[in-house]
Each structure stands twice: as C-alpha cells, then as structure tokens.
Amino acid sequence: MSEFEWDQIDQVVDVYPPTYYENAKGQRWAVVGGKWYTAKPNITLEEIRAKWVKPSRPKSNIKDAIHSVKSSDGSKMYTVTVVNGIKSCNCTGFGFRRDCKHVRSITA
Ligand SMILES: [Zn+2]
C-alpha cells in the first residue's frame, strides 16, 4: 500500500465518492481512487470531496446514426449510415464512387 500526503495533491479523479478511514489513534486517511492518502486527524469528508473530481466520460464527437435522405426528385429515400464517423449510403452512386450527395448532405 503506497501512501500519499493529502495536502500535497491537487485533485483525485475517481468514479466513486471518496471516504476516509480512521484508526484507533484518530489518524485519518482519505481514500479516493483506490489510493490511501495520509491526512490530518480531523479531515472531513467535505475537505476530501473538495479535491475529488468525478471523471467525465470520454466524449466521442462522432455519433453512430442512421439518416433518411430523400432523392433529388423526391421519389426515393436513401439511408445514410454513420458508424464510427464513416458514412455510407445505400444508393447506387455511393456503391460506385464511395461518395454521393446524400452522404455529403449529412454534416453531423
Ligand atoms: Zn447516396
């Protein structure tokens, strides 16, 4: 078990809310992020939480999506699928060129 000085750290990232452990002698350890931090005897949960940072989920700016796009003459619907940022369309033009106006009409 490695110990760290609580006062010397800026923040601790952890999904779980922090807690502290107190031994029989009144010594407290802040327990965050799977680590134990040596803390002052009277440290409070509020003080520990002040340095606690909840990790944000890694944001992917690309969303998988399915778009229905009308053909230019309005007679057909094409399906543009976006998976991992790769767009594809079920029209014949896309089948040949790997590009079409339906795919280009999707900007997201
Ligand atoms: Zn298309």
Q: How far is the CA of 1 from the centre of ligand 1 (A)?
A: 59
pLDDT digits (tens, 9 = 90+) for 25-63: 888 999 998 889 999 989 999 999 999 998 776 655 666
- Whether the full predicted model's pTM is greater than 0.75, yes or no, is no
- Tokens 């006062």: give the residue: 7
| Confidence bin at 17 (pLDDT 50/70/90) | confident
Q: How far is the CA of 73 from the centre of ligand 1 (A)?
A: 13
Q: How far is the CA of 70 from the centre of ligand 1 (A)?
A: 9
- Give the Cα separation of 72 and 76 in Å (integer): 8
- Give the Cα separation of 40 and 87 in Å (integer): 56
SS3 18: coil
pLDDT at 108: 55
| Contact (CB, 8 A) for 66 and 81 | yes
Q: How far is the CA of 59 from the centre of ligand 1 (A)?
A: 28
Residue 2, token pair as written in the block: 């490695």
Q: How far is the CA of 95 from the centre of ligand 1 (A)?
A: 8
Q: Of 9, 11, 45, 15, give the one whose Cα is nearest residue 30.
A: 45
